[in-house]
Amino acid sequence: MPILKNLGVADSKVPRAGTLPLRSSRNPFEEVPGLEEEEVGELGTLPNGTSCRRRATLEKLAGLAPFRLGWTPGRRAGSPGDGQPRSFLGRMLTPGIRRSSADFGLLARLQGTRAQGDEEAAGEAARRLAFLRLGRGPKPRRASLAERVVPAGEAAPEPPPKVPEPLKMKEPLSVLEILSLIQQRELSRADEHILELEAEELASSGGGAPGPPGAEGAGGGRRARDVALLYEALQRELWALVRETLAGPGPGAGAGTGAVAQLGQVLLQEEAADGRRGPGAARKLRARWAEAVGRAARERLEAAAPGAPGGLAGQLEALRARLLEDMGGVRGRLAPAYPAGLGAFGVYLRGYHGALAEWLGAAARRRLPLPDRYALLHWHNQVYPREVLGLVDLVALENGELGPLLSPGTLRGLEDECVTDVKAQTRAALLRVLQENEEHWGSTEDRPSSLAQDVCELLEEHTERAPRISQEFGERMAHCCLGGLAEFLQSFQQRVERFHEHPGVRELLPDTYISRTISLVNCGPPLRALAERLARVGPPESEPAREAAASALDRVTRLCHRVLADLLFQELQPHFNKLMRRKWLNSSEALDGIVGTLGAQALALRRMQDEPYQALVAELHRRALVEYVRPLLRGRLRCRSARTRSRVAGRLREDAAQLQRLFRRLESQASWLDAVVPHLAEVLQLEDTPSIQVEVGVLVRDYPDIRRKHVAALLDIRGLHNTAARQEILAVARDLELSEGGALSPPRDRAFFSDISVPRPPFCLGLPLFLGRLPLSRLARPDLACLPRLRPLSPSRPPTQR
């Protein structure tokens, strides 16, 4: 039966003994050239002496008994000997002889001819048997062979002992059979037979490493070519299996996993064989497997990216989804099917990592727009490490960490391009926004300004995205944007100055002009906060740009505050002109006008943001008190009696309290101004010199910009003409000025007396000098008691001749 199977005769087509007439069927091999029949020996007798010549055997029925190929004793003369090549069928049926790939064309034709003859004989026998059974009736029971041989009443003899069959030698497979195993994905068995064939080729070539085909004659060259072709077919099937299993589990998930297990087994077998082959002849299938995984990963990623919408950002998102999908399949389905020693998960991860690095490198070499560069840098630095590699146990990798997707030079180049593009784009965009906003400054339409919001949005788009990529890139982007902001604010300052200097601007409606100025002031706080934030994020060299931005904003704020204050005090000036007069002592009309006007204008000023509003209210508070004290120190009112001094001091205290309540209601933070008028009232009202000295010392301490000329003017108002007392009081002011550095100018927001100019102090002529020269009637006039200080003569002018 093994011979029949080798020849392609199925068991179902072989009729059993007793079912066919004892006719000799046509020999299926009688037309095969090179085959000759041998003599048929005696068939022997049964134990009871009966001949078994009449019984048909399986070999006779199949027509194979006369052909015992490979039988050496009794070989006919002229049959092939040891030195002669065997016939085709001899090579096909002789155990231990491998069929080569050249024998299988003839074998296929032979099997077709035999199969047709066997089918015809089987059909004719079946028709004859059916006819005989119809006439004979049911088949009678036959006696068994033991019943016929042993007479009745005797015991059956013991059956002969079973002779163990000799072990059959494993028959090597042919090249085409090995190829069939490869095509059927029986990869492990196929690789075993390829290794056997390779070993035979090595043995035939002298035991050395396999050489090139044709080196050892025709037979050796053909066998080497067969081995090479089989390895090529095996590798094609292995790498196709890698691609197919990556694509998905499919309907035959179990079969796919088994094939992956065979792939891993092949790799282990080949790795062991490489140790026997030596370094020069090693096939290194494990390294080629890693390359095949990389190629399959590249195909998978390239297939996922092109169809994704949304530009490069959409393609990167598609890559992320494909990576997560495939690596999830590798972790849960493929890696467990491989042998543990191969480190399959690490190989697949490195393959995908390398394929992704190639894809990103090709994308980085293209000329990308700024949003695509941002997307590429963010995906490389944040998304891939966090959402892809974060799900992978990198400690389990055999060779340590994975390399970078993009080289540091490539990343630096992308960042440099981003900084350059941001600098150019933001500069043009900021100037365009400023130009569009400036066109509405001179119009009568009252519309809110969005300049600061537009500028912040333009810069924050970059300053918020860059730090999410990397801290270093965020610092570089912050420095770039801060430089652009400082340049923009300097241009903004110049345009604001031109706006307020334009002669036609003030001719606008007052409400519109004030509203436009408030809008310009409101641009300061958000832009200042942006500059401070960029300076904190940026490197230390960003400080000069921050100072330039702050200086430009300070100039704009001071200019707009001065403009608003000037407009307000132009309206208040008539009320201030009524102060420090005799009517002022008896009526509060002037101060009520000041308080009412300031309270009304505060409603418009309240539209200003908190920071500039506080600064403006503090400036209004300071200027209001300066304008209040100015007419007092300029000598508009003089006290000639203690009663008058008391009335003036009381009025000063009442006005100071009313102004204090007003500016508290306006939320002024300049509380240091509340005590200046009460201190002046105390100096006017006190009578003894030591108390006046103490009060003057408090004035000099709290208001460092006060000078002796201001104290002298105050003493003149209270009517203190005693020279000794004046010198004692003025000496206190002089000593405090020298000890506390009063010569230094205070900050602008703390200056008070420096904004009040007083006339030069007069000097009094002694009475003995004028007794003989002035009439006594002139001495009765008190206004002539003190004359202005004489100016020194110029050296170029000669004295007047009398």
pLDDT score of 109 more than 50? no
Percent of the chain as helix, strand, coil, to the nearest 5: 65, 0, 35
Q: Which CATH number fits domain 411-560: 1.10.287.4070, 1.10.357.50, 3.30.70.990, 3.40.50.1820?
A: 1.10.357.50
Which residues fall within 8 angstroms of residue 541, CB to CB, at 6 or more apart? 479
Predicted pLDDT at 34:
38
Give span(s): CATH 1.10.357.50, the chain.
Answer: 411-560
pLDDT of residue 547: 95
Q: Which residue has the higher pLDDT, 361 or 139?
A: 361
* SS3 per residue for 86-152: CCHHHHHHCCCCCCCHHHHHHHHHHHHHHHHHHHHHHHHHHHHHHHHHHHHCCCCCCCCHHHHHCCC
Structure tokens at 54: 């009449």
Q: Tell me which CATH code domain 579-750 carries.
A: 1.10.357.70
Q: What is the pTM of this model?
A: 0.66
Residue 46 is predicted with a pLDDT of 42
More confidently predicted of 581 and 507: 581
Average pLDDT over residues 332-356: 91
What is the pLDDT at residue 256?
67
Quick: pLDDT tens for 143-165. Answer: 444 445 545 555 555 666 766 66
In the chain, count of helices (H) and strands (E)?
29, 2
AA identity, residue 203:
A
Kindly report, residue by residue over 745-765, the tens digit of the pLDDT.
667 667 889 889 887 655 444
- Decide if pLDDT at 245 tops 50: yes
Q: Report the pLDDT value the prediction gives residue 758, as an integer from 0 to 100.
A: 85
pLDDT in tens, 531-554: 999 999 989 999 999 999 999 999
For the chain, what percent of residues have pLDDT higher than 90? 43
Average model confidence (pLDDT) for the chain?
76
Between 72 and 370, the more confident residue is 370
For residue 303, which of 359, 346, 252, 232 has the smallest C-alpha distance? 359
Between 141 and 445, the more confident residue is: 445
Q: Which of 95-104, 120-129, 542-551, 786-795 has the lowest mean pLDDT?
A: 786-795
pLDDT at 801 over 90: no
**Res. 479: pLDDT tops 60:** yes
Q: What is the pLDDT of residue 248?
A: 72
Band the pLDDT of 138: cuts 50, 70, 90.
low
* Of residues 395 and 75, more confidently modeled: 395
Pair of tokens at residue 143: 């006696």
Map tokens 């209601």 to a residue. Answer: 665
Residues of each domain in the chain carrying CATH 1.10.357.70: 579-750
pLDDT at 651 over 60: yes
Question: How confident is the model at residue 721, as a pLDDT?
Answer: 83
| Greatest mean pLDDT among 9-23, 375-389, 768-782 | 375-389
> Which is higher by pLDDT, 701 or 14?
701
